[in-house]
Amino acid sequence: MARLPHRIIKETQCLLTESVPGIKAEPDENNTHYFPTVILGPQNSPFEGETFKFELFLPEEYPPKYAPKVHFMTKMCHPNVDKMERISLDILKNMWSPEVQIHTILLSTQALLSASNHDDLLVNNVIEEGRPMEPKP
């Protein structure tokens, strides 16, 4: 980790020592900008009891210029996740701020599974068709 910016080292150490309940994120041993992540579906949500894999990638100019990239590896049916399993989360787009940390992004992603954001829909027909927001097999 010696070549990494201090901020990424500090956030990575925090993730490894202060785990987030229901979320496991550790840097890849070959690429410390890449975090394979596992998230458990939140209780009392349509995803309760499910396990989802996603990847979080820190661009070179994280955090001053660019937000991390978040992409689900597990197929799912959710109005804020598109066909390519990309997530729409305001803090990763128009509300990005260098003060936002990886920990916050993980918690926000987990919270999005509990309550979709109808102001930032990627898949309108999930709601329009009345299909339940359940994971795809």
Phi, psi of 113 (to 5 degrees): -70, -25
Query: Is residue 137 included in any domain, yes or no?
Result: no
- Detail the DSSP E strand segments found in the chain: 23-25, 34-40, 51-57, 69-72
Q: What's the pTM value of the predicted model, to 2 decimals?
A: 0.79
Residue whose C-alpha is closest to residue 78's, from 29, 111, 32, 30? 111
Question: Range of 43's domain?
Answer: 6-128
Query: Is residue 56 included in any domain, yes or no?
Result: yes
Phi-psi map region of 22: left, alpha, beta (phi>0 left; psi -120 to 50 alpha) = left
CATH code where residue 112 lies: 3.10.110.10
**Looking at residues 52-80, what average pLDDT do you find?**
91
Helices 6-17 and 102-114, interaxial angle, to 10°?
Answer: 50
% residues pLDDT > 70 (the chain): 82
Asked whether residue 127 carries a pLDDT value surpassing 50, the answer given is no
Q: What is the pLDDT of residue 81?
A: 83
CA atoms within 13 A on the CB side of 133: 23
The number of folded domains in the chain is 1
- Residue 86 DSSP one-character state: B
Structure tokens at 73: 């590896």
Asked whether residue 56 carries a pLDDT value surpassing 90, the answer given is yes
Mean pLDDT of the chain: 83
Q: Which carries the bigger pLDDT value, residue 130 or residue 34?
A: 34
Query: Is residue 118 included in any domain, yes or no?
Result: yes
Query: Is residue 133 included in any domain, yes or no?
Result: no
CA 52/CA 7 separation, integer angstroms: 27
Asked whether residue 126 carries a pLDDT value surpassing 60, the answer given is no
Q: What is the dihedral of CA 113, 74, 11, 30, to 10 degrees?
A: 180
The letter for the amino acid at 33 is: H
**Looking at residues 71-93, what average pLDDT do you find?**
85
Query: Is residue 29 included in any domain, yes or no?
Result: yes
